């Protein structure tokens, strides 16, 4: 493939058909670009935009984000999923303030050393903010390169990813790298889509191996199928008047650092557990409908138990909070917990 023809066609296509009005495209400042790149990981643009705008409204500068309590950061992130991103975002802001004087480093390797930033995200920040000449490999770009170059094998394997980095670097133009990188992302998002790609509208269709060999539906090679593990969880919906009891989840693991409903240990009786461990006296325990929630690596079966509390201690253990139902919209809750509370 002619690298110059491939790059120039993408740059020309981007000029007339690419996306130019996304909120984070209005600046070269690294803070908002970095914020967008983190939010866009495994999340669609249409979902990200309102979160991005609310985040910048609440934390307009990196310094304001670094100084904020992590609970406020998690509350704003609530519903966006993959919550480790929010924790790493906060840690990264604090590191930049403490170790780099509040200024993002310009070198991609130094950027990648910050919490929550991998090689592709670091390169994107360096390209869009500092004019670096580096490839990126997000999901859209991997799909585009696998099809255009006819690369077999699942892109998540080290061997295939290593080749994609090499080929991605070899295809870089000498100039207008930012337009070229944006074109790769936009082409993958709008034309070279996972299903039903619009190959007849693609500016590099005649250079594409998959299109030539009628293998577009085969590439990139899908992730090998594996059984999805299942886990079960029983949650206590403890209500007293207009309040509900929430607990802060441990920092590691599912929904780390977010508020959630207390989890009933396996094999425990709900009323006994509430009295002995939480100091609460409850009335009847009423099961609510069980539902399933899919996470990245497993499927979670959630069984809620609704309990009316009529006696509670004056002081609660650390990590437990009684909140009015009107307050729930302002705190960091996992999406399935928010939906569950809205139902019950």
Q: Which amino acids are annotated catalytic?
A: 37
Give the chain's end-to-end CA distance (angstroms, integer). Answer: 59
Measured CA distances, 270 to 85, 220, 280, 309 (Å): 34, 49, 11, 12
CA distances from 165 to 128, 142, 152 (A): 18, 9, 15
Burial class (CB in 10 A: 0-12, 13-18, 19+), 74: buried
Q: How far apart are CA 186 and CA 140, in angstroms?
A: 8
118's tokens = 């991998």
Element (H, E) at 302: strand 299-311
Rounded to an integer, what distance in angstroms lies between the CA atom of residue 184 and that of residue 139?
A: 10
Q: How many CB atoms lie within 10 A of CB 254?
A: 17
For residue 202 the two structure tokens come to: 């693609």
| Cβ–Cβ under 8 Å, residues 38 and 89 | yes
d(CA 288, CA 169): 54
243 strand-pairing partners: 240, 324
3-state secondary structure at position 300: strand
Beta pairing partners, 307: 238, 285
H/E element, 238: strand 230-240
Cis bond upstream, residue 220 (ω within 30): yes
Longest CA pairwise span in the chain (Å): 75
Residue with tokens 């991609």: 108
Gap between the Cα atoms of 282 and 126, Å rounded? 57
């Amino acid at each position: 493939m002619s690298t110059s023809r491939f790059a120039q066609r993408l740059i020309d296509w981007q000029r007339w058909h690419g996306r130019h009005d996304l909120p984070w495209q209005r600046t070269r400042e690294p803070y908002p670009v970095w914020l967008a790149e983190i939010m866009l990981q495994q999340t669609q643009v249409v979902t990200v935009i309102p979160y991005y705008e609310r985040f910048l409204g609440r934390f307009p500068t990196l310094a304001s984000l670094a100084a904020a309590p992590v609970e406020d950061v998690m509350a704003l992130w609530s519903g966006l999923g993959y919550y480790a991103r929010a924790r790493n975002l906060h840690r990264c802001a604090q590191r930049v303030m403490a170790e780099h004087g509040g200024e993002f480093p310009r070198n991609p390797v130094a950027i990648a050393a910050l919490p929550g930033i991998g090689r592709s995200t670091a390169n994107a920040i360096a390209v869009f903010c500092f004019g670096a000449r580096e490839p990126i490999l997000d999901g859209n770009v991997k799909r585009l390169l696998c099809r255009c170059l006819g690369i077999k094998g699942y892109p998540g394997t080290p061997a295939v990813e290593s080749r994609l980095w090499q080929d991605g670097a070899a295809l870089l133009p000498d100039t207008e790298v930012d337009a070229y990188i944006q074109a790769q992302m936009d082409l993958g998002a709008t034309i070279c889509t996972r299903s039903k790609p619009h190959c007849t509208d693609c500016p590099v269709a005649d250079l594409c191996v998959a299109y030539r060999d009628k293998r577009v539906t085969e590439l990139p090679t899908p992730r090998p199928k594996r059984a999805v593990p299942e886990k079960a969880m029983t949650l206590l919906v403890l209500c007293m008047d207009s309040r509900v009891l929430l607990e802060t989840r441990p920092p590691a693991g599912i929904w780390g650092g977010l508020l959630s409903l207390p989890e009933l240990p396996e094999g425990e009786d709900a009323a006994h557990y509430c009295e002995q461990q939480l100091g609460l006296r409850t009335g009847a325990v009423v099961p609510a409908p069980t539902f399933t929630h899919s996470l990245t690596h497993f499927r979670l079966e959630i069984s809620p138990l609704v309990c009316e509390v009529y006696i509670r201690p004056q002081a609660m253990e650390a990590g437990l909070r009684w909140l009015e139902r009107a307050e729930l919209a302002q705190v960091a809750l996992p999406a399935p917990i928010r939906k569950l509370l809205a139902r019950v």
